[in-house]
Amino acid sequence: MDNAINSNIKLIKGNMNRFIYFAFILFLISSCGGVSTKNSSSINKSEPLVTFVFDDSNETDYTVARDIFRSRGEVACTAVVTNWVNTKNYLSVSQLDELQKDGWEILSHTVSHSNLRALSESQIETELSQSKASLENWGLPVRNLVYPYNGNNEAVKSIAEKYYRSARSGHKMLNSPDLDLYDLKSFSSELSTRRKISGIKSQIDRAYSEKKWLILYHHLIDAKIKISDKSGAFIPEERLSFMPSGATGKYIKDNGSVIQFIPLSGSPHIGDIVAGQSSGAVSRLERIYYNEREALIEMIEYIHIKYSDMKIVTINKGLDLMGVP
């Protein structure tokens, strides 16, 4: 009988040991499966997203883009170079504060817009940490970064990880479920670089059909036209009026018959008389090369009409929807 009891005890111990072993293996497997790094993420719920980012904190983020997005119930992001804040043609702290209150996300774009790949690690550290510190001292919380010139390397990414939730580069790609948080992909949406809006719409189509995240970046919002019958000389930064369309703009420069300006309101038409309100110069509008104000409106309305369930989000909201901690 003692032998039988001893055998049963050995059997029980053996089963317990096997149970503990298998439980330990299962624990290791589940732990490995649950490990996540800050450098990568997977979408918990795959859905198509679009984000508009305006790099460099140009004043047109406030004077042009703000009204476009606010009047359509949408938000965007402005990427701020802190050394340029409160300087001519760039955003002021008060303008940034108003954009934030509208729901815009404030992103870091470094202190001086230097090429981070050309800097020492201590210089990179300064650019990334001080930009964040300045913005937060102005009462502007910042969680995400945009690399100047869309450039990074492993050293840059490693330092960015210390201060930011994510960082955006370029690459002309959509963001898929296995995104790299410190190398978010993006496309330029600028018509001034000879891109056609049809190409941008095709990327919106792709993002929707593939349920991916499209990040579009922009800089100064401007327009370029050809004029004729010019009389007088326009003055930099003067107000332009277009009649009879009623559009308005802010003159930047011209090269003989080609004028570059900021489109402030309305839609200029071919045949309009273009008049400088300070200089008194006049000309006739012969051709519109591009108008980025109208293009932004067209992009947003394209999404609203064709893909009503496609969300326009900030970077931070996009990360939230992807389940990124």
Domain ranges of the chain: 49-221+295-321, 223-291
- pLDDT for res 12: 38
- The residues, ordered by sequence, that sit 6+ positions from 222 with a Cβ below 8 Å of its Cβ are 60, 192, 252, 260, 261, 262, 263, 292
- pLDDT for res 150: 94
Spatial contact of 223 and 184, defined as CB atoms under 8 Å apart:
no
Spatial contact of 244 and 274, defined as CB atoms under 8 Å apart:
no
- pLDDT for res 247: 98
DSSP 118: G
Residue 231 φ/ψ region, left for φ over 0, alpha for ψ in the -120 to 50 degree band, beta for the rest: beta
- pLDDT for res 177: 80
In tens, the pLDDT along 118-171 reads 999 999 999 999 999 999 999 999 999 999 999 999 999 999 999 999 999 999
- pLDDT for res 187: 95
- pLDDT for res 196: 87
State the residue for tokens 């108008």: 291
Q: φ and ψ at 27, to 5 degrees?
A: -65, -45
Which pTM value belongs to this model?
0.86
Tokens of 162: 């210390």
- pLDDT for res 233: 96
Out of 3.40.190.10, 3.90.1150.110, 3.20.20.370, 1.20.1090.10, select the CATH number for domain 49-221+295-321: 3.20.20.370
- pLDDT for res 253: 96
Cα–Cα separations (whole angstroms), residue 139 to 16, 89, 160, 256: 59, 22, 21, 45
The ranges of the chain with pLDDT < 70 are 1-45, 193-194
- pLDDT for res 40: 56
